[in-house]
Amino acid sequence: MQNIHSTPDTQHQVDTFLASLPLDGSVAAAELIRAIKTNELTPNLVPAVAGFLANAPATLLATLLIAPGASAADIENTISSAVALADKVHCERSSTLEVEIKRALIPSDFPAQPQAASISGAQPKIALVSYGGKYYEPGTSPPEVLARWELCEDLANQFVERCLLNEKGKYAHLSRQEILQQYLARLLRTGWGSDTDMMWVINRTAALLSWEPINVLSDETQRLHPNEVGKD
C-alpha cells in the first residue's frame, strides 16, 4: 500500500484509538501503521489491524492513508489496498470502507444538506437512512453525499473550460463575476441539485480558476430568462 501519511499527530491519534480497543496486549501506532503500509501481518497484529479498520473514524483513516496532494489514481489505489487488507483480516466494514474514506475526503465546505422526509403517525418523524450500521438523515449518508459531490465536482470542472473559453469570446464584455453569475443562474434552473449545491459548483469553479467567489445572486442573475438554460 502506498501514500501512508504518518505524522506525530496522526500517530498520537492512532495510539489513542488503539488504547480504546479491547485488545490482548498493546500495539504501538508505528507498528500498526507499518503493517498497514506493507500489508505484512504477523498473527499478533491481525486483531489490532482488524479492530482499527472496523472502528476507526473515516476521517482518521483518510488522514492516515491519503497523502496531501495525492493524485486521483493514487487515491483509488490506496483505498483499494485498504479494502483488500480489510477483507484479508475479515473486517466486516470492508463493504463500506471505500465509500466512507472517499466521503471523508470531500472538502469541508461542501454542503451536507439533509432533505427531511416525514413518516405518517401521531407525531412527525424523520425517515432515517441506514448505511454501514449507522443511521443518517436523508441525503446525508456517505454514499448520498459522495454521489452529490462527484456530480458537483464534475460540473465545476466543466465550467472551468467554459469560463476560460467564453471569457475571451462571447463574454469578453463581462467581468468574471458576471460570467459566474450567468452560469449560476442557468444551473439553478436545471434541477441537477439544490440551490446550495449549485452555488458550491460555481464557487468551486471560481476556486479552480483562482477567480473571486460569488456570495449572493445578483439582480441580473435573478432576472435571466429560463430559456437561456443550457446555452453556452
Q: What is the pLDDT of residue 167?
A: 92
d(CA 21, CA 29) in angstroms, rounded, equals 13
Is 163 found in the same domain as 76?
no
In a domain, 126, yes or no: no
In a domain, 125, yes or no: no
Is 99 found in the same domain as 151?
no
Is the confidence at residue 5, as pLDDT, over 60? no
In a domain, 181, yes or no: yes
In a domain, 62, yes or no: yes
In a domain, 137, yes or no: no
In a domain, 134, yes or no: no
Interval 42-89: pLDDT, tens? 888 899 999 999 999 999 999 888 888 889 899 999 999 999 999 999
Q: Quickly state the pLDDT bin for 230 (edges 50, 70, 90).
A: very low
For the chain, the C-alpha Rg in angstroms (whole number) is: 22
d(CA 78, CA 83) in angstroms, rounded, equals 9
In a domain, 131, yes or no: no
Is 167 found in the same domain as 96?
no
Query: CB under 8 Å to 66, separation ≥6 — which residues?
Result: 3, 5, 75, 78, 101, 105
Tell me the three cell numbers of residue 53. 479498520
Is 147 found in the same domain as 98?
no
In a domain, 98, yes or no: yes
d(CA 139, CA 141) in angstroms, rounded, equals 6
- Select the more confidently predicted residue: 54 or 27: 54
User: What Cα–Cα distance (Å) separates residue 189 from each residue in 143, 164, 176, 222?
Assistant: 25, 22, 21, 11
Last residue of a domain, one of 39, 74, 104: 104
Is 157 found in the same domain as 82?
no
Is the confidence at residue 184, as pLDDT, over 90? yes
Query: Within 10 A of 36 (CB to CB), how many other CB atoms are there?
Result: 24
Q: What is the pLDDT of residue 29?
A: 84
Is 151 found in the same domain as 223?
yes
Q: What is the pLDDT of residue 68?
A: 84
d(CA 28, CA 85) in angstroms, rounded, equals 19
Is the confidence at residue 95, as pLDDT, over 70? yes
Is the confidence at residue 148, as pLDDT, over 70? yes
Q: Which residues of 65-92 are buried (b: 16+ CB within 10 A; e: fewer)?
A: bbbeebeeeebeebbebbbebbeebebe
**DSSP annotation of 224:** S
Query: Within 10 A of 3 (CB to CB), how many other CB atoms are there?
Result: 19
Question: By percentage, how much of the chain surpasses pLDDT 70?
Answer: 84
Of the listed ranges 115-124, 129-138, 205-214, the least confidently predicted one is 115-124
* 36 close to 1: Cβ distance less than 8 angstroms: yes
**Cα pseudo-dihedral 11, 12, 18, 19, rounded to 10:** 150
Q: What is the pLDDT of residue 118?
A: 42
Q: What is the pLDDT of residue 32?
A: 86
Is the confidence at residue 2, as pLDDT, over 80? no
Q: What is the pLDDT of residue 123?
A: 58
Residue range of the domain that includes 97: 8-104
Is 148 found in the same domain as 67?
no
Tell me the whole-structure pTM to 2 decimals. 0.79
Nearest 5°: CA angle at 121, between 115 and 123? 75
Tell me the three cell numbers of residue 153. 465536482
Is 68 found in the same domain as 13?
yes
Is 148 found in the same domain as 96?
no
Is 98 found in the same domain as 148?
no
Number of folded domains in the chain? Answer: 2
Last residue of a domain, one of 104, 124, 152: 104
Is the confidence at residue 149, as pLDDT, over 90? yes
Is the confidence at residue 229, as pLDDT, over 50? no
Average pLDDT, the chain: 84
User: What Cα–Cα distance (Å) separates residue 223 from each residue in 10, 93, 125, 182, 226?
Assistant: 50, 49, 38, 10, 9
Q: What is the pLDDT of residue 80?
A: 92
Interval 150-176: pLDDT, tens? 999 999 999 999 999 999 999 899 999
Q: Quickly state the pLDDT bin for 208 (edges 50, 70, 90).
A: very high
Q: What is the pLDDT of residue 225?
A: 39
**Three-state secondary structure call for residue 191:** coil
Is 17 found in the same domain as 97?
yes
Is 150 found in the same domain as 69?
no
- Which amino acid is located at 176 in the chain? R
